[in-house]
Amino acid sequence: MIINIYILSIIFSVAFLALVIELVRKNKLSEKYSLLWILFGLTILLLSVSPFFIERISSLINIKYAPSVLFIFGLLFLIVYSLQITIVVSQQSKKIIRLTQEITIIKEKLESSSGIQVDSEEKATDNSLGESEAG
Amino acid sequence: MDSKSKKILVIIPAYNEEKSISKVIKSLFDSGHKVDLVVVDDGSKDKTSIIAKESGAKVLKLPFNLGIGGAMQTGYLYAKKNNYDVAIQLDGDGQHDPLYLGDLITPLLDGRSDMIIGSRYVAKTEYQSNVSRRIGMIFFSTLVTLLTGNPIKDTTSGFRAVNRKIIDYFADNYPSDYPEVDVLIRLHKKKFKVMEVPVEMKERQGGTSSITPLKSIYYVIKVSIVLLINSIRTGALS
């Protein structure tokens, strides 16, 4: 049983690393944000190879039940990473707001100076946005 | 005092205000103040922007709802780009009476203050409000007084006029959530002067208030946290 779970976690971490690298390769995940995930994958891989590391760490910080080391670090990692994501989202929403404002002002200027009406096209986007917002 | 040489912009933020917007625009034009008007349609799903245009207003139509902060900032950005000397917020629901515009503009042009707030509570006015709202107002007023040393009574009033210095500041720094109370702390940190003048406010003429009774406690807590955080942001507000 012990051998099984270690093999399983090795397979999982290798697959996870491969997935992260593939996502970066396909430009679906930017390099900047991939680093932490690669680090995470490597750590799991290291821990999966042998129980030695976990037991060593748990005895170092006086944890009697070795697997709980995994839980605590896993949990901490997730908390830190969600904070990081919220920071990114905040920055992006700031930028989106500024873009929206600039575009709105430019659009008004365009319409009033040249008489170009962006309205008909605008209606379609309006509806789709309204729906996605409500949903 | 010479308001003729100054460029003054009235910004009306409006979200689904098709019932009241034409009345507000008409009462502004009828008030006889020499001001320009821009309506910021905050992604309304009704005919707000069409009606506003028909009523003779310039309309900045946001493609989706940004919230009052984002909408007002659009107005300030517009004011900055077009070199306005004074920008005034006038709500689209008809609570603010354009007759009082002069009272807001005069002390600003005299250089007595950088921002003038049209206040319901400085002098006795006809405005009636319910008890819970009243408690919230007193709470914010006390908090703002403690944090800034400026005894502002009507901290949530949206009826405000600002000078060019603040237009420039707001164009780049305007909180997207709960801006009314928040900016008072920010302006204090930036050493801007804020002053209140008494105005009468009317009942809403359509639409619903952005602050519903159910959300008011939540609102009070959130705003307080934002205020406290801002007050410890030692001058580094940018």
The pLDDT tens digits of the residues spanning B89-111 come to: 999 888 899 999 999 999 999 99
Other beta carbons within 10 Å of B14: 27
User: How do beta strands B8-14 and B86-89 pair?
Assistant: parallel
| C-alpha pair distances (Å), A27 with each of A22, A33, B176 | 9, 12, 32
> What domains can be seen in chain B, in order of their start residue?
8-231 (3.90.550.10)
* Closest CA–CA distance from residue B193 to any residue of chain A (Å): 27
Q: Among residues 55-114 of chain A, which lie with CB inside 8 Å of chain B?
A: 93, 97, 100-105, 107-108, 112
Q: Is the pLDDT of residue B126 over 80?
A: no
- C-alpha span between B52 and B17 (Å, rounded): 10
Q: 3-class DSSP state for residue A26? A: coil
- C-alpha span between A39 and B52 (Å, rounded): 55
ipTM value: 0.82
Residue of A92, A94, A105 to mutate, interface with B, max B Cβ within 10 Å: A105
Q: Classify residue A92 as exposed, middle or buried by CB count within 10 Å of its CB (0-12, 13-18, 19+).
A: exposed
The pLDDT tens digits of the residues spanning B52-91 come to: 999 999 999 999 999 999 999 999 999 999 999 999 999 9
How far is Cα of residue B204 from the mean position of the Cα atoms in its chain?
Answer: 15
Contact A97 B176 (CB under 8 A): yes
Residue in the structure block whose two tokens are 């164009």:
B171
The partner residue sitting opposite A105, judged by closest CB among B60, B65, B176, is B60
Other beta carbons within 10 Å of B191: 8
